[in-house]
Amino acid sequence: MKTVSKKHTQNLILAAAISLALAACSGQNKAKEKDLDLAEYEVTEVKVVSQDNLVSVEEELGPVSVKSLPRKKVAPTPPKLELNQAGPATSQDQLTEQGKITVTGSRLMRAEGGVVMHHMPSPLPPTVDRENYKQFEDQAIQNVLNNPISTFSIDVDTGAYANVRRFLNQGQMPRQDAVRVEELINYFDYDYPTPDNAGQPFLANTEMAPSPWNKNAHLLHIGIKGFEKDASERPAANLVFLLDVSGSMNSPDKIGLLKSSLKLLTQQMTQNDKVSIVVYAGAAGVVLEPTAGNNHAKIAQALDQLRAGGSTNGAAGIHLAYQLAEQNMIKDGINRILIATDGDFNVGTTNFEALKELVEKKRKNGVSLTTLGFGTGNYNDHLMEQLADVGNGNHAYIDTIKEANKVLVNQINSTLMTIAKDVKIQIEFNPDTVKEYRLIGYENRKLKTEDFDNDKIDAGEIGAGHTVTAIYEVVLQGNDGWLGESRYQKRNVKSGYSNELAFLKMRYKQPDSDTSQLLQWPIKRDLIQPMNQASESFQFATSVAAFGQLLRDGQYVAEFNYDDVLNMARGSKGQDPFGYRGEFLQLVSLAKSLAN
């Protein structure tokens, strides 16, 4: 029997590798051996384990030469050729060190000291986009004569803006259902007046000017800013980090960014605070028992040890996190769970209504919930938003470490410290002066008229220093509106309030109260002014509102385009200490290029 030297065997296999690579590049996978066609047979495993007991490859196969063969030949199930000596198992690293050869399939890899042949992996399947968004339609046009009252809950979430930014920075236009215009507007801070004390947690600011995209309409701008508290006034916090470490989180923009983000937050914690960490994958567990907030090294070490893998039993993690939060409840303090995940729950309780009921129940016990979304491809935006809504918390999407710094450092008081809960807005338009209206955004926040006075109905929370903006587009009497004239619905009786456009009412509860308080203001006709005389806050918010509508197909903005948005935003950029508004200009420019 002829034997094959190690060097000759390596040369033989390397020659086969080169031929396969060349065939793949040229589109012709052809090979021929003496009396054996490699297009029909694949060497699935060849192991040279002992130099003293080699089987002759040439005797089995003969000298190898590579020639062109037809590519379309269908390969039958390949016979398995194994050259191996019985004996104790040897690790792959040891084989590599000894210069020994393992051949599996047709993929070749060279390592120091030898050649290691691995199974060729199956071709990667096409990327499947499993991101989940709630489908919704834009707010409908309302005839004041038939529907004079508009009621909605405030929204301080900003997740949609960061998610839209992620889409654009990846070179694609965002899904329309990923664009919640109110969250784009509320991403930015505005210079609204603030109350002098927390007794009245916020003030309302109203302005009105002609619409820049509809000559027959005006924009009514309602701005609210919460009472600002110094960081030293923040009460002690009992925070439970509920972290998704399932396999779906195994990428740098998920588990890697998650760890870096929460380290930023822990640097803001003091000795009066407590931090716990619960993780979940196929099961859930506590990886950090309640620890003093100023023990930054211990918290960071627990975060560094996290690794992603397995399925996603989010329900089990939520139950355990609430149990830990309730065991360490701080009276008159901040008791909150921060869940960081892509929202891809796939085992355990996947009934999201049941999860929402659990979060709502625990909210009533004094534990709130904030959601931090991460990642792409399987991001469950719908679930993240819903859980935060019923958990008396807020939802943010973390696409960069810069966004983490904004949400968890610069705005930590707004994120953690609630100054008013169940905040509702109701506006009644005067049919004497207003013909039609539409609310821009807040599609997921609509309330029934009767919900406004019902203290059992949940609504949004506002944190210390938070700003909330709502914009209505209204058509005044005497102007052409969106709706056709009605034959029978005519108003002949005047109200006696011809100098008023609308009446604004707001309800809210103190954080420790279950009884709402009412604030109300008339909106007078003399509020109207030219847009170029309106405040920078009004003008910039209007440019963001236009941008959001364009991303959602812009059915109401007529010929207003991205260039108009850019011009308006540049003229009202104002002070921009963190560069958020400058970044907005870049995103608008990018969207313009992608849309074209």
Residue 569 maps to which CATH number? Answer: 2.60.40.1230
Percent of the chain with pLDDT over 90: 63
**pLDDT surpasses 80 at 37:** no
- Residue type, position 407, single letter: V
Are residues 500 and 362 both part of a single domain? no
- At residue 23 the predicted structure's pLDDT band, cuts being 50, 70 and 90, is low
Distance from C-alpha of 469 to C-alpha of 465, rounded to nearest angstrom: 13
Q: How confident is the model at residue 424 (pLDDT cuts 50, 70, 90)?
A: very high
Answer yes or no: do 349 and 405 share one domain: yes
> For residue 182, what pLDDT is reported?
98
pLDDT, one tens digit per residue, over 93-117 is 443 344 333 333 333 344 444 444 4
Average pLDDT, the chain: 82
> Is 133 among the domain residues?
no
Give the up-direction half-sphere exposure of residue 140: CA atoms within 13 A in the CB hemisphere: 6
Residue 47 lies in a domain: yes
Are 521 and 584 contained in the same domain? yes
Q: Are residues 464 and 574 in the same domain?
A: yes
Where do we find the tokens 């360490």? 328
Residue 65 backbone dihedrals phi, psi, to 5 degrees: -130, 155
Whether 514 and 563 map to the same domain: the answer is: yes
| Residues 176 and 189 occupy one common structural domain | yes
pLDDT of residue 206 exceeding 80, the answer is: yes
CATH of the domain at 339: 3.40.50.410
**Which of 32-41, 280-289, 415-424 is the least confident region?**
32-41
Q: Which of 64-73, 418-427, 501-510 has the lowest mean pLDDT?
A: 64-73
Q: Which of 383, 416, 449 is the last residue of a domain?
A: 416
pLDDT of residue 5: 53
Please report, as a single letter, which amino acid is at residue 124.
Answer: L
- The confidence band for 241, taking pLDDT boundaries of 50, 70 and 90, is very high
When divided into structural domains, the chain yields a total of 3
Residues 228-256: what's their mean pLDDT? 91
pLDDT over threshold 90, residue 507:
yes
Same domain, 89 and 194: no
The answer to whether residues 400 and 468 belong to one domain is: no
User: Is the model's pLDDT at 55 over the cut of 50?
Assistant: no
Check whether 119 has a pLDDT greater than 80: no
Same domain, 520 and 539: yes
137 lies in a domain? no
Is 435 a residue whose pLDDT tops 80? yes
Pick the more confident residue, 469 or 228: 469
Residue with tokens 């904030």, as numbered in its chain = 370
Contact 188, 441 (CB under 8 A): no
Q: Are 416 and 143 in contact (CB under 8 A)?
A: no
Residue 149 domain-assigned? yes
Q: Is the pLDDT of residue 49 over 70?
A: no
Q: Where are the alpha helices (DSSP H) in 445-579?
A: 536-551, 562-571
Residue 511 placed within a domain: yes
Residue 409 is given by DSSP the state: I
**Single pTM value for the model:** 0.78
pLDDT of 29:
42
End position of a domain, from candidates 387, 416, 445? 416
What percent of the chain has a predicted confidence (pLDDT) above 70? 75
Asked if residue 1 belongs to a domain, the reply is no
Does the CA dihedral 48-54-59-64 come out positive or negative?
Answer: positive
Contact 193, 521 (CB under 8 A): no
Numbers of helices and strands, H then E, in the chain: 15, 22
How far apart are the C-alpha atoms of 352 and 247, rounded to whole Å? Answer: 20
Domain contains 123: no
Give the DSSP H/E element, type plus range, for residue 532.
none
- Does the residue 129 lie in any domain? no
**Host domain of residue 217:** 142-229+418-484+494-595
352 with 397, same domain: the answer is yes
Residue 197's pLDDT band (boundaries 50, 70, 90)? confident
* 300, pLDDT greater than 80: yes
* Residue 33 · residue 64 · CB < 8 Å: yes
What are 303-360's pLDDT values in tens digits?
999 988 877 666 788 889 999 999 999 999 999 999 999 887 654 555 778 888 889 9
What is the three-class DSSP state of 592? helix
Which residues make Cβ contacts (< 8 Å) with residue 40, sequence separation at least 6?
73, 75, 76, 78
448, pLDDT greater than 90: yes
Query: What single-letter DSSP state applies at residue 232?
Result: G
Return the closest-CA partner of residue 349 out of 308, 311, 309. Answer: 311
**451 secondary structure, DSSP code:** G
Helix (H) or strand (E) holding 421: strand 418-429
Q: What is the pLDDT of residue 41?
A: 36
pLDDT of 523-534, one tens digit each? 999 999 999 999
Q: In the structure encoding, which two tokens stand for residue 132, read together?
A: 């989940």
Q: With bands split at pLDDT 50, 70 and 90, how would you rate the model's confidence at 161? A: very high
| CA pair distance 376, 321, nearest whole angstrom | 25
Same domain, 552 and 579: yes
Of 390, 416, 442, which residue constitutes the final position of a domain?
416
What does the pLDDT read at residue 93? 41
- Quick one: pLDDT at residue 66? 37
**In this structure, are 75 and 188 located in the same domain?**
no
